[in-house]
Amino acid sequence: MKKSQQKTVQWQLEVPLRYEADIAVLGGGIAGVSAACAAAKSGASVILVERFAVTGGMLTTGGVANFCDPDHLDGQGEVFDRILADLREWKAIGYGKKSCFHYEVLAVVLQELLLRRGVKLLLHTRLADAVVDDRGRISECIVCGKSGPEALRAKQFIDCTGDADLARRAGFETLKGGEPSGYQLPMSLMFFVRHVPPDVREPRLPDGWFNPVEQEEDLPMVSVWPDGPGANALKMKTPMFDSTDTESLTAAEITARRRMMDVLDYYRNVENKPWILDHCSPIIGIREGCRIAGDYVLTLGDLRAGRAFDDGVARGTYQLDGHKPDDDRRTYILPKDELKVPPYQIPLRSLIARDGVNLMMAGRCFSADQLALSSARVATSCAMMGQAAGIAAALCVQQRCGTRDLDPDKVRRTVIERGGGLGV
Ligand SMILES: Cc1cc2nc3c(=O)[nH]c(=O)nc-3n(C[C@H](O)[C@H](O)[C@H](O)COP(=O)(O)OP(=O)(O)OC[C@H]3O[C@@H](n4cnc5c(N)ncnc54)[C@H](O)[C@@H]3O)c2cc1C
């Protein structure tokens, strides 16, 4: 149903102003954690709002548990370097494969880092709305946890929700999907199996349940990764759903869990894998939600050219990972021999919301076209964007200025001083 045809109701609520900080970071994935930690290091008071029980986003709640580009993990900046060092200290990385990590340990590492830096953490708390004036200045956001709706006032806001939730609530312009279909990159469900002795057999799918798979050609795209000793992680593609629509996201979760049972049944009973289901990630993996239109939209052409920018503050090195939006098989938007790109920079302008004066964004909701996002959405680049946005927001607070009045060179210098490699 078109929005204009929908019935509406009006509601008004006076809510307590419970929280105040220099900077509010919405969303505690790798981008949000990096932004909050970097801003706190610069001396700002920071509140991080996360809707789930743990931070880490796709990497923890989404079960991704893998960093791309394992040979280029170090040197993204001090926040990500610290996270890696902590994972190594816990012997929680190189978990079966060089780039895989124990995601439950990552959740602990991230929360402890935030707390050590003095970031105030609000878990089980969802961003619900924004109070914004007609110049695009957000004064408060409304968050809702178990205490009910409450206001959070800040000087600067950073949207790291992956779905541009704050920008959408503020009525700012967003970008979704790619040309020409408008479809988003497909989701994938992560689930985990434990190895059991071969004589421990599970029955086939009970009669009447779902759609048994009898041959490999009928499987959706499934990637199988190691997940520590005696276990595997499986990633199963589930296309054509929209993470920014309540009903579509609900349908995605239901569809993916049904298909998971079909796929498991195939592996156990057709391929005779000695596996039992251990657990499934609490949320389906979302590659692309909704991006915020920024002062600059990073493009595929920029990536192909390995472009450096005067205001380059982060870097991408990963290939174009644009899975075909309308297919559940291992297919890509571009031909396989066109996926490689040279290292490229991400400009500060693509982290500044075009319609706002105190809103930045980082991670998979930054300002880019779909194919540029398909590369820059990996954890390392999201962490770098987060660090840069945190540094920039803290500078705005120190200088009492808007995001657009900052000297990008200052941000860039601080990124480099803090170990962020920007070389292209
Ligand atoms: C299936 C799959 C496989 C992948 N494989 C890899 C890989 O191998 N290597 C790699 O490096 N990358 C991989 N990626 C990409 C990478 O995991 C993500 O793009 C990256 O982690 C995104 O980080 P983020 O912080 O931008 O967003 P997210 O991790 O999505 O974090 C957003 C956070 O915001 C919170 N949030 C959202 N809305 C609200 C709200 N309204 N209020 C409060 N909180 C909110 C969420 O709960 C979440 O914690 C994969 C992604 C998927 C989906």
DSSP state of 159: E
Residues 97 and 127 in one domain: yes
> Residue 400 Cα, ligand 1 centroid: separation in angstroms?
31
Chain centroid to CA 217: how far?
31
Segments of the chain with pLDDT less than 50: none
Residues 149 and 63 in one domain: yes
The residue nearest atom 38 of ligand 1, judged by CA position, is 161
Residues 333 and 410 in one domain: yes
Per the domain annotation, does 2 fall within a domain?
Answer: no
| Residue that terminates a domain, selected from 230, 253, 280 | 280
Residues 153 and 230 in one domain: no
Number of structural domains in the chain:
2
Residues 130 and 209 in one domain: no
Residues 100 and 130 in one domain: yes
Residues 212 and 302 in one domain: no
> Residue 61 Cα, ligand 1 centroid: separation in angstroms?
9
CATH of the domain at 173: 3.50.50.60
Can you tell me the distance from the alpha carbon of 259 to that of 187, in angstroms, rounded to the nearest whole number?
Answer: 13
Per the domain annotation, does 154 fall within a domain?
Answer: yes
- What was the pLDDT predicted at 103? 95
**Minimum-distance ligand 1 atom for the alpha carbon of 287:** 53
| Residue that terminates a domain, selected from 224, 248, 280 | 280
**Minimum-distance ligand 1 atom for the alpha carbon of 364:** 26
Most ligand 1 atoms within 8 A of CB, residue of 378, 384, 385 to mutate: 378
**Minimum-distance ligand 1 atom for the alpha carbon of 33:** 25
> Residue 93 Cα, ligand 1 centroid: separation in angstroms?
19
Altogether, the residues listed in the chain come to a count of: 424
| Residue that terminates a domain, selected from 234, 263, 280 | 280
Residues 32 and 152 in one domain: yes
Number of H helices and E strands in the chain, helices first, is 9, 15
Show Cβ contacts of residue 340 under 8 Å, excluding neighbours closer than 6 positions.
Answer: 319, 320
- What was the pLDDT predicted at 69? 81
122 lines ligand 1 (CB under 6 A): no
Structure tokens at 359: 């809103």
**Minimum-distance ligand 1 atom for the alpha carbon of 190:** 1
Show Cβ contacts of residue 413 under 8 Å, excluding neighbours closer than 6 positions.
Answer: none
Residues 165 and 308 in one domain: yes
Residues 119 and 25 in one domain: yes
Show Cβ contacts of residue 136 under 8 Å, excluding neighbours closer than 6 positions.
Answer: 170, 172, 353, 355, 356, 357, 359
DSSP state of 240: S
- What was the pLDDT predicted at 3? 64
Per the domain annotation, does 392 fall within a domain?
Answer: yes
- CB atoms < 10 A from the CB of 189, how many? 26
- What was the pLDDT predicted at 64? 96
Task: Give the residue numbers spanning the domain of 136.
Answer: 17-178+288-417
The residue among 11, 39, 9, 4 whose CA lies nearest residue 24 is: 39
State whether the Cα torsion 173-177-183-185 is positive or negative. Answer: negative
Radius of gyration of the chain (CA): 21
Per the domain annotation, does 364 fall within a domain?
Answer: yes
Per the domain annotation, does 263 fall within a domain?
Answer: yes
The residue nearest atom 31 of ligand 1, judged by CA position, is 29
Structure tokens at 89: 């200290």
- What was the pLDDT predicted at 259? 97
Most ligand 1 atoms within 8 A of CB, residue of 64, 121, 190 to mutate: 64
107 lines ligand 1 (CB under 6 A): no
Q: Which pTM value belongs to this model?
A: 0.97
- What was the pLDDT predicted at 275? 94
Residues 265 and 341 in one domain: no
Residues 121 and 267 in one domain: no
